[in-house]
Amino acid sequence: MIETNDPALWRNFLPWPGPDTHKHARGRLVVVSGKAHQTGAARLAARAGLRIGAGVVRILCPPDAVSVIAPAIEAVMLTPFASADALGREVEMADAVVIGPAAGLDDATVANLQAVAMSGAVLVIDADALTMFKGRAAELFALVDRDDVLTPHEGEFERLFPGLLNQGREKAAMEAARRAQAVVVLKGAQTIVASPDGRARRNINGSPWLATAGTGDVLAGMIGGLIAERMSSFDAASAAVWLHSAAASVFGPGLISEDLPEILPKALRELWIQYPPQ
């Protein structure tokens, strides 16, 4: 059975800060960047994670990307890594890791994913880190666990689960989550969030203004931020998908991906007013 994604399902699990909360208690999110000419996606994801409440957000990047990213961030921290082994060491203290947005379609992305999968952090795997496993999905599934989140659009989904969409989006997402033994977020006009335990939610507040480059990177960062704040992966994905659409609807025409993290506080405030912490 599939539910309609609604704040009533997850509002009591949202990690609103209390009077004694400090930044480390709000979670540590890491976003892995691509090379110097592929840094925008990581910056979008990192800012979204920060906006949704993660206390400490760090971008880890190849050395050649430092001079590109450093002038473009403020509260987000930055650390270079020279190898997959070094990346694995840098994420040891992270609560959640976003990997894949503009990561690069090469073996380095696979090695980096393998390294972060050993860290114990919850993974949000998107974009290039999904595409690299076309025709070898079993290798990806061996790296993830039930708390990790895969966030494919339909093209990426087809690469990992060829032919499965013929069953319809809802059944396909649920079967994909069962096969992967991870949470699957099948993006689209009505995004489906499916858990490996058989639960699934259909999001019906989708916004057409999200049909622009980079909005998926923002969503990955939002999911990662809520997970870093110790929200369960299924509820974090459900909340992030709903808030992502709500923020887009608040902004309306002219939305570009850079606008989403900036309008997110308004969407969060409206949710906080409507459903105050209990």
**Residue 62: which pLDDT band, with cuts at 50, 70 and 90?**
very high
Tokens linked to 199: 């639960």
What is the pLDDT at residue 18?
85
What is the pLDDT at residue 275?
82
Number of domains in the chain: 1
Q: Over the stretch 113-151, which tens digit does the pLDDT of each residue have?
A: 999 999 999 999 999 999 999 999 999 999 999 999 999
Q: Is 64 within 8 Å of 35 (Cβ atoms)?
A: yes
Q: Is 213 within 8 Å of 257 (Cβ atoms)?
A: yes
Mean pLDDT of 36-61: 98
What is the pLDDT at residue 162?
98
Residue 17 to residue 128: CA distance in whole angstroms: 33
Mean pLDDT of 32-45: 97
Strand duo 200-202 + 192-194: pairing: antiparallel
Q: Is 151 within 8 Å of 187 (Cβ atoms)?
A: yes
Q: Which domain holds residue 166?
A: 2-14+22-274
Q: Over the stretch 229-278, which tens digit does the pLDDT of each residue have?
A: 999 999 999 999 999 999 999 999 999 999 999 999 999 999 999 888 77
Distances (CA, A) of 242 to 73, 129, 174, 203: 26, 24, 19, 7
CATH code assigned at 106: 3.40.1190.20
